[in-house]
Structure 1
Amino acid sequence: MKNYTINEIHNYLNTTDTIEEPLMEKLAQDSRKGVQTLLRQWQSKQDRKLKLHGRFIQMLQYEKALMKQGYRSIAGIDEVGRGPLAGPVVAAAVVLPENFYLPGVNDSKKLSEKKRNEFYGRIMEEATAVGIGIISSEEIDRINIYQASKKAMITSLQSLSLEPDHLLIDAMELELPIAQTSLIKGDEKSVSIACASIVAKVTRDRLMSEYALEFPEYQFHQNMGYGTKDHLEALQKFGPSSIHRRSFAPVKELV
Structure 2
Amino acid sequence: MGLTVAEIKRRLQEADEREFAVLERSLVADARKGVRDAVEVARRRIEAERAERERLAALYAYERELAQGRGAGVCVGLDEVGRGPLAGPLAVGAVVLPLEPAVDGLNDSKQLKPEVRERIALEVKRVAVAWCVEYVEAADIDAAGMTASLVTAFRRAVARIEAAGVRPDVVLLDGNPLRLDEREVNVVKGDARCASIAAASVVAKVERDALMCRYAQEYPEYGFDACKGYASPAHIEAIKRYGLTPIHRVSFCTAFTQPALF
CA spacing shift, 1:215–1:81, aligned 2, 3 Å: same
Sequence identity percentage? 34
Alpha-carbon separation, structure 2, partners of 1:84 and 1:21: 50
The residue that corresponds to 1:199 in the other structure is 203
Aligned counterpart in structure 1 of residue 237 of structure 2, from 230, 233, 236? 233
User: Shift of residue 9 of structure 1?
Assistant: 2.9
Q: 1:55-134 counterparts in 2 under 5 A?
A: 55-68=55-68, 69-102=70-103, 104-134=105-135
Q: 1:23-34 counterparts in 2 under 5 A?
A: 23-34=23-34
Are residue 163 (structure 1) and residue 161 (structure 2) matched?
no
Alpha-carbon separation, structure 1, partners of 2:181 and 2:93: 19
Amino acid in the other structure paired with 1:238: Y
CA spacing shift, 1:205–1:156, aligned 2, 3 Å: same
Alpha-carbon separation, structure 1, partners of 2:50 and 2:149: 40
The residue that corresponds to 2:142 in the other structure is 141
Amino acid in the other structure paired with 1:9: I
List alignment gaps of at least 5 residues for structure 2: none
CA spacing shift, 1:71–1:100, aligned 2, 3 Å: farther
User: Shift of residue 12 of structure 1?
Assistant: 2.5
User: Shift of residue 176 of structure 1?
Assistant: 4.8
Of residues 146-155 and 196-205 in structure 1, the stretch that sits farther from structure 2 once superposed is: 146-155
**Does structure 2 retain, via aligned residues, the 8 Å contact 1:240–1:251?**
no
User: Shift of residue 250 of structure 1?
Assistant: 3.3
Are residue 16 (structure 1) and residue 20 (structure 2) matched?
no
Amino acid in the other structure paired with 1:223: C
**Does structure 2 retain, via aligned residues, the 8 Å contact 1:246–1:252?**
no
User: Shift of residue 140 of structure 1?
Assistant: 1.2
Cα deviation digits, residues 105-131 of structure 1 (max 9, x gap) = 322112211221121122111111112
CA spacing shift, 1:22–1:47, aligned 2, 3 Å: closer
Alpha-carbon separation, structure 1, partners of 2:255 and 2:120: 34
SS of corresponding position for 2:250:
coil
Alpha-carbon separation, structure 1, partners of 2:191 and 2:22: 43
Cα RMSD of the aligned pairs, angstroms, is: 2.1
State TM-score, norm by structure 1: 0.90
Aligned residues: 254
